[in-house]
A and B are shown apart, each in its own frame.
Chain A
Amino acid sequence: MEAREDLLVVDRLKTQFFTYGGLVEALDEVSFEIKKGEIFGLVGESGCGKSVTATSILRLVAKPGKIISGRVLLDGQDLLEKNDHEMNSIRGSRIAMIFQDPTSSLNPVFRIGRQVGEPYVYHQHRGKRQALMDATRILAKTGFPDADEKARNYPHELSGGLRQRAMIAMALTCEPELLIADEPTTNLDVTIGRQILDLVKDLQREFGASVLWITHDMAVVAQMCDRVGVMYAGSIVEKTDVRTLFRNAKHPYTVRLLRAIPSAAKSAETLEEIPGSVPQLIHPPSGCRFHPRCDSAMDVCSQVKPLEIEVEPGHVVACHLFRGKGKVT
Chain B
Amino acid sequence: MRIPGAALFSSRYRLLQKRLHPITKEWGLTFYVLRHSKLAVIGGFIALAFIIIALFGSLFAPYDPISANIQDRFQPPSASHPLGTDTMGRDVMSRMLAGAQHSIKAGLIVLAIAVPLGVLLGGIAGLFGGWVDEVIMRITDMFLAFPSLVLAMAFSAALGPSLFNAMIALSIVWWPMYARLVRGQALAVRETSYVEAARSRGASNFHIMFKHILPNCLSPILVTLTLDMGWVITAAASLSFLGFGAQPPIPEWGRMVSDGRIYMLRAWWMSVFPGLGIMFVVLGFNLLGDGIRDSLDPKLRRLTEVTWKREKTSSSSTD
Residues of A within 8 A of B (CB): 58, 60, 62-63, 88-93, 96-97, 99, 101, 104-110, 118-119, 122-123, 152-154, 157, 167, 170
Contacts and interface: CB of A to CB of B under 8 A. Distances in A.
Interface string B5-31: 000000000000001001000000000
B244 to A, nearest CB: 41
Interface of B: 19, 22, 129, 192-194, 196-204, 207, 211-212, 215-216
Contacts of B22: 152-154, 157
Contact of A88 (B19, B194, B204): B204
Contact of A122 (B192, B203, B212, B216): B203
A141 to B, nearest CB: 18
A92 B200 contact: yes
A88 B202 contact: yes
Contacts of B204: 88, 122
A121 to B, nearest CB: 8
A90 B19 CA distance: 35
B201 A96 contact: yes
Contacts of B207: 118, 122
Given A109-B215, A109-B216, A122 B193 contact: no
B192 A118 contact: no
A157 B21 CA distance: 14
Contact of A107 (B19, B194, B200): B194
A99 B202 contact: no
Given A109-B216, A122-B207, A91 B193 contact: no
A123 B193 CA distance: 21
Given A107-B212, A122-B207, A152-B19, A93 B202 contact: yes
B302 to A, nearest CB: 12
- Which 7 A-B residue pairings sit nearest by Cβ, starting from the closest? A92-B202, A92-B201, A91-B202, A105-B197, A97-B200, A104-B193, A107-B194
18 contacts: A60-B200, A63-B129, A90-B202, A91-B201, A92-B202, A97-B200, A99-B197, A99-B200, A101-B193, A104-B193, A104-B194, A105-B196, A107-B211, A107-B215, A119-B202, A122-B204, A152-B22, A153-B22
Contacts of A152: 19, 22
A89 B193 contact: no
B191 to A, nearest CB: 8
A91 B199 contact: yes
Contacts, number: 70
A108 B192 CA distance: 11
Contact of A118 (B193, B196, B201, B215): B201
Nearest to B129: A63
A122 B19 CA distance: 27
A32 B297 CA distance: 50
Given A104-B192, A106-B194, A170 B212 contact: no
Nearest to B199: A60
B201 A119 contact: yes
A276 to B, nearest CB: 31
Nearest to A173: B201
B197 A106 contact: yes
A172 to B, nearest CB: 11
Nearest to B192: A104
Given A107-B212, A109-B215, A152-B19, A58 B200 contact: yes
A118 B204 CA distance: 11
Contacts of A93: 202
A88 B208 CA distance: 12
A107 B213 CA distance: 10
A60 B196 contact: yes
A154 B200 CA distance: 21
Given A63-B129, A110-B211, 16 more contacts: A60-B199, A88-B203, A91-B201, A93-B202, A96-B200, A97-B200, A104-B193, A104-B194, A105-B194, A107-B198, A107-B211, A107-B212, A118-B201, A118-B203, A122-B207, A123-B202
A157 B22 CA distance: 10
Contacts of A63: 129
A91 B196 CA distance: 11
Nearest to B203: A122
B201 A99 contact: no
Contacts of A119: 201-202
Contacts of A101: 193
Nearest to A60: B199
A167 B192 CA distance: 16
A178 to B, nearest CB: 12
B205 to A, nearest CB: 9
Nearest to B215: A109
